[in-house]
Structure 1
Amino acid sequence: MVQFHINERIITDKKQIGTIKYVGPIPQWNVIALGVEWDDPKNGKNNGILNGIHYFKPRVPQSGSFIKSTSKKIESTKISFVGVISNEYLNTKYEQSDIKFGRKNVQEFGWQELNEKQSNLENLKSLTLDYKFISKIFEINNDEEIQMLKSLSKLENLELSCNLFEDIKEVWILLDCLTSLKTLNINGNRFGITENLPNMNSHVTSLHLASCIIDIPYLNKLLNKFPNLQNLNIANNHYNDSEILKLKLPNNITKLDLSGNTLNNIPEFENLKNLNLANNNIMVSKLLVSNKYEALDLRGNKISSWTEIDLLSNCLQSLKEFRVNHNPLFDIMTIDEMTVQLIGRFRCGLNDLYKLNGSFLTEDEIENANLYINSKIQGGEIKVNNNLKLQKQFNYKNPKLHDSHDFPWLNLNFVLPETGTFNEKFLKTTSVLKLKGYVSRKLNNLSILKFEIQSKSNDDINNHRLENNLSTIKDYSLENNQTLYINFV
C-alpha cells in the first residue's frame, strides 16, 4: 500500500490537485482514508466533516472531501525539477552514423546537438514550468543534477505555479543555485509550515504567492527572507481585514496585489505606490490616511455611490492610474458616462491621473468631462460640497454653457424599422465605430456589417449615412436630441 502523510500534495487522474489534511481511519471504511483540501474549491464537498465527526478544517470553506487511500484515481508519479529540465531541454536522440577516415570507420554521436541544447540552457533568461506536477528539485541529488541546476546561471524569471511542492525548502534549493533570479512565481502551491526557514535571499525582487493559502504570521517570517523585494502578489488567499492588518511588508515593497481576497476596506501601507484590490468586497466609508498610492485597482468591488468616489478623490492626491469599473455604481451607465463622471471628479492630466480603467486619457476627454460636470453642477444635479476638486473647479473656473454648441454631450434618438425607438447619451468625441457597437449590443450583438445608421438634418430632406468608422459624431454635425435611423442591409 502507498503511504501518505499530512500536507502531501496529490494529483488525480483528472488532474485535480489537492493537499492531504487527514490520514487515518473512518468508521465503516475498511481502508485508511485521506482527507483532502482541493486547490479548486469546486472539487470539494464538505468542511472536513463526515457523519458528524470533524476530521480536518480546510482554509477555504467547502473545499474538502474524503478519498480512500487505495483509490486508483490518485496518480503515484511525482516529478523532479531537474527531471523536467532534462526531458524538455537536454534529451537528445543520438543517431549513429559511420564516417570513414582513410581505412577506419569512426562513429559519430549527437554531441553537437547536445552541446547546443546545453548552451541554450545556459543562456535561458525566462522559464515557465507551470502545471508540470513537480514536487521536488532533485531526483537523486548527485553532482550531475547539481551541475544541471547551476547551468541556469542567467535565469531571471521562473514560473513554477500550480505544481506539487509541499516544503518551501525545496524552493530554496533553487534560489541558492539561481543567483541571477529576479522574479519567482510559485502561485498555487501549498506549503506546510517550516519552523527553521532558510537563509536570506537578496536577489529576488518580485515574488508571486497567489492561491498559496499561507497564514499571515508565517508569511511575515517568509517575507523577512527577501530584504530587496519590491513586488509581492498574495492574491486569492482568502485574507480578511483583520489578517491584513497584521501583514508586515518589507520597506522596499512598492507594488502589492491583494486581489481576489475578502477585504471590506482599503488597507493602508506607508511605502506602497501600486495596490491591486480588484474583486474584493470593498466599500469606501472613510478617508484614507495614506495618500501616496499612484496606482489603485478597485475593479469588481461593492462601490455603489458617488460619495464613495468623492472620498477617494479627496484623499488620493498622488493617483496616476485608477481602475474602478465593474462596481454596482456603474451597472446602468454607459462607458462614456462613467468615464466622464470619473474624470470630472479626479484631478486628471499628464502630471495627475492619466490612465483610467486601462485607457490613457486625452486632453479633449479631460476638457469635455470638466465642461459636462460643471453643467451638471449648475443644473443642481451634482453637489460640490463632497469633492475638493469640484469645489475648486466650480468656484474658480465656473464656465458658463450658453448654447448647445458648447455642450460636450449629445442625446441621440434611434429609430428601428417597425420595432420602436430608444435613446442614449454620447460624447461628441465618440467614434462612429463605437456608436455602431452600442447599436449592435441593442440588436443582440448583430454584426455592424448588417445595418447602417443614417441621419437627417432639420433643413435637409435627404438622409446621410454615418459611414466613416474612424470619424466622430461631431464630424457629422449632429445636434442634441437628433434622430438617427437604423436600416438593415
Structure 2
Amino acid sequence: MMVGPGICGEVAQMENLGDIKIGQRVQCNGHRGTVKYVGEVPPTKGIWLGIDWDDSSRGRHDGSHEGHKYFKTRHPTSGSFVRPEKVNFGQSCMAAIRSRYGGVENAGIDEDNWAVVQKQINARFLEMVGLDKISKIQSEFGKLKRVILDDYGVNGAGSPGELQTHCPLIEELDLSRNLLSSWESVADIAIQLPKLRLLNISDNRLMLPENPIELQDAFRSLEHLIAGLLEYTWSEMMTCATMWPHIKSLQVPYNHFVVLEPSPSNVLSQLKFLDLDGNPIDSWAEINKLGKLPCLETLNVSNTGLTDIYFPTEKPDQKTDLFQALRKLCITENKISKWQSICELDKLKQLENLKIMENPLMEVENRATNRQLIIARIESLKKLNGVDVTADERRGAEYDYLKRYGKVWLELVKTQDEEQLRNFMKEHSRYPYLIQKYGAPDEGEFKVLSTTLKSKMISVELFSPNHETKRYKKMLPRSMLVQKLFGLVQKMFDTGNEFPKLTYISSKKPGVEIPLDNELKTLDFYSVEDGDQISVRW
C-alpha cells in the first residue's frame, strides 16, 4: 500500500509518539507541513502521521484512504501519510542559534547535557575539539544583536530562560520559513528577548492566539514585524495586531487580504509604515478604510490589482481628510490606467514621494512626458519614482501642462458646457490653480501661423541680470531648438566653461519666468513671441 509520497531521506528528529500533537509542524526533504492525524491506517500496522503539506503538489490525497476520511486538508492533493521516523520535527531556537553561529559541531549541545557529555567523552576528544574554543563560542552568543534563522527548523523557544541567559541582546530576529505552529510559541521566544525590535515570522503556519492581549508583554519592545505568507485575512491579522502595542512598521505581503476594515482605535495607533504588497485587494475603497490610521507615513499597495484611486470629497480640488500623515505611496505593478487617479492623489495633504511604475497609465506617453504630467497634477510631490523633483522641473512641467490643455480649456470656457467642464476638472483638477499661478492661456498661442519667412522669425531680447550692460536683440527662428540657443548665448555672453541657465519672460506675463530646460524643445513650444525676453544666468 502506498500511503505517502515516498521516502523523505532526512535525518529525523524523533520524539516520543505521545508528544506528537495535532497542529505540530514538520519538515521532509525541504517540504513543510502540518500534522493533522496521528494513529493507525488499516490494514497497515503501526503509527502513521497524516500530513497536510504547504505545497499541494507534495501530497497525494485529501486525507482519505480506502474510503475513510482521516483528516481534512487545505487542498485536494496536499495530504499524505508518513511514518514518524521519516520526518524532521525541528529544533529549539537556542539549538538553531548554536547550529547557525556555533562554528563547531558540539557547540549545539544543550547546556543541561553538557556536564554529562564532559564526563562521558575522553580527554583526547576534549583536546581535539578544545574546550577553550567552545567556551569562547558560547560567550559570543551573548553579543549577538542580529540573528538570522530562516529555514532552520525552529519549532519553539526550548528550555525556559535559555534564550534570555545566552542571547539577551538580540534586537533583530529572522524566524521565517520555520516549524513554528502558534503565536504562543513565538511569544515564548520573544518574551526572553527584552531588546527585540524587529521580528520576521513570514512563511510559518501560525494558529490564531486564543487570548492575544495576554501575549502583549512578550512583544513589548517590538517595533517592526514582517509577517508575509501567513495565509491570513485582514481580520485575522487585526486579531493578532492587539499583541503588538508599540508596532511602527508592519510588512504583511502576500497574505489573503481582499476585504479590509478600519482598525480599532487602540490597534496600530503608532503605525508609520504599512506594506500590503501582493495582497489581492483590488479596490481602492478598501484602501480608504485605512485612512484613519493617525501616524501612517508610508503605504505600499503594489501588485494588488488596483484599477483606480478615489477619495470621496465634495469638490474635485478639495483635500481629503483621509491619510493625514501619509508622505510616501507605492502603487507599482497595478492596473491604473486613468489620469483621474493621479488627480485624486493631489487630494492627499502630505504626499511627497510617489512610486507608480509598471501601470498601464505609464505606457500612454514616453517616460519624460508621463513624469511631467504627474508632477503637474500633484502639487506637493517632491520625489517621483525615486528621482527628486526640482523647483525648475516643477515650473517647466506645470507650464507645459498648462499649454498642453490650453486650447481645450479655452473652448470649454467659451461654450460654458457644465458637464464637459466637470469632466475636464476630474482629470485636470489643478488647472484653475495653474492659471492663477502662470496666467490663462492666450488664444493667439493656438492660432495657425503664417508660413512666410517673416512669420517664422521672432525678435527677442537676451540679457543677463548679473551684467546689465549685456543686452542684445536678436531675430531667432521659432523652430530653433533650446540646445542651439545654449550655444549661441555661450558665445554672446562669453560664459566660458559655465553652462548657462535660460528662462523665458513673456511680455504678456512679466512676473512669470519659465525655465527653458528641455534642450530638444523649440522656442515655439515655449510660446516665445516678438518682444519677449530671455534671461541668461551662469
Return the TM-score normalized by structure 1. Answer: 0.67
C-alpha displacement of 1:395:
3.4
1:40-439 matched pairs, under 5 angstroms: 56=72, 58=74, 65-70=77-82, 75-92=87-104, 110-138=130-158, 141=159, 146-197=161-212, 198-200=215-217, 201-241=219-259, 243-245=260-262, 249-263=267-281, 264-265=283-284, 266-267=287-288, 268-270=290-292, 271=294, 272-282=296-306, 283-287=308-312, 289-292=321-324, 293-313=326-346, 315-347=347-379, 352-380=380-408, 385-386=425-426, 387-398=428-439
C-alpha displacement of 1:404:
12
Matched letter for residue 406 of structure 2: Q
Deviations 1:374-419 (A, max 9, x none): 22122439986224433201233137697999xxxxxxxxxxxxxx
Give 3-state SS (helix, strand or coil) of 1:82's partner.
helix
Output the CA distance in 2 between the equivalents of 1:153 and 1:128.
Answer: 15
Gap change, CA 1:188 and 1:480, over 3 Å in 2? same
Decide whether the 8 Å contact of 1:256 with 1:274 is kept in 2: yes
Decide whether the 8 Å contact of 1:187 with 1:210 is kept in 2: yes
Which piece of structure 1 moves more, 243-252 or 297-306?
A: 243-252
C-alpha displacement of 1:41:
6.7
Partner of 2:111: none
Give 3-state SS (helix, strand or coil) of 1:76's partner.
coil
Which piece of structure 1 moves more, 167-176 or 63-72?
A: 63-72
Deviations 1:305-348 (A, max 9, x none): 011221222x212102111221122234332222111111111x
Gap change, CA 1:212 and 1:380, over 3 Å in 2? same
Q: Which has more radius of gyration?
A: 2
C-alpha displacement of 1:302:
2.1
Matched letter for residue 309 of structure 2: V
Output the CA distance in 2 between the equivalents of 1:428 and 1:365.
Answer: 16
Tell me the number of residue pairs that the alignment of Structure 1 and Structure 2 aligns.
394
Gap change, CA 1:475 and 1:275, over 3 Å in 2? closer
Matched letter for residue 326 of structure 1: E
Deviations 1:277-320 (A, max 9, x none): 1111222244354042211111122211011221222x212102
Gap change, CA 1:55 and 1:365, over 3 Å in 2? farther
Output the CA distance in 1 between the equivalents of 2:343 and 2:72.
Answer: 46
Matched letter for residue 229 of structure 2: S
C-alpha displacement of 1:189:
1.0
5+ residue gaps, structure 1:
95-105, 406-426, 430-454, 456-473, 482-489
Output the CA distance in 2 between the equivalents of 1:321 and 1:476.
Answer: 23
Output the CA distance in 1 between the equivalents of 2:242 and 2:457.
Answer: 61
Output the CA distance in 1 between the equivalents of 2:127 and 2:85.
Answer: 47
Decide whether the 8 Å contact of 2:50 with 2:82 is kept in 1: no
Matched letter for residue 299 of structure 2: L
Give 3-state SS (helix, strand or coil) of 1:369's partner.
helix
Output the CA distance in 1 between the equivalents of 2:368 and 2:457.
Answer: 19
Output the CA distance in 1 between the equivalents of 2:63 and 2:376.
Answer: 51
Gap change, CA 1:26 and 1:280, over 3 Å in 2? farther
Output the CA distance in 2 between the equivalents of 1:108 and 1:404.
Answer: 93
C-alpha displacement of 1:149:
4.1
Gap change, CA 1:93 and 1:185, over 3 Å in 2? closer
Gap change, CA 1:44 and 1:258, over 3 Å in 2? farther
Matched letter for residue 162 of structure 1: R
Give 3-state SS (helix, strand or coil) of 2:425's partner.
coil
Give 3-state SS (helix, strand or coil) of 2:34's partner.
strand
- Using the aligned pairs only, state the percent identity: 21
Output the CA distance in 2 between the equivalents of 1:300 and 1:111.
Answer: 55
Matched letter for residue 435 of structure 2: F
Which piece of structure 1 moves more, 69-78 or 367-376?
A: 69-78
C-alpha displacement of 1:16:
2.7
Gap change, CA 1:148 and 1:70, over 3 Å in 2? closer
Decide whether the 8 Å contact of 1:210 with 1:233 is kept in 2: yes
CA RMSD of aligned residues (A): 4.5
C-alpha displacement of 1:109:
7.2
Gap change, CA 1:278 and 1:78, over 3 Å in 2? same
Gap change, CA 1:23 and 1:324, over 3 Å in 2? farther
Gap change, CA 1:377 and 1:161, over 3 Å in 2? same
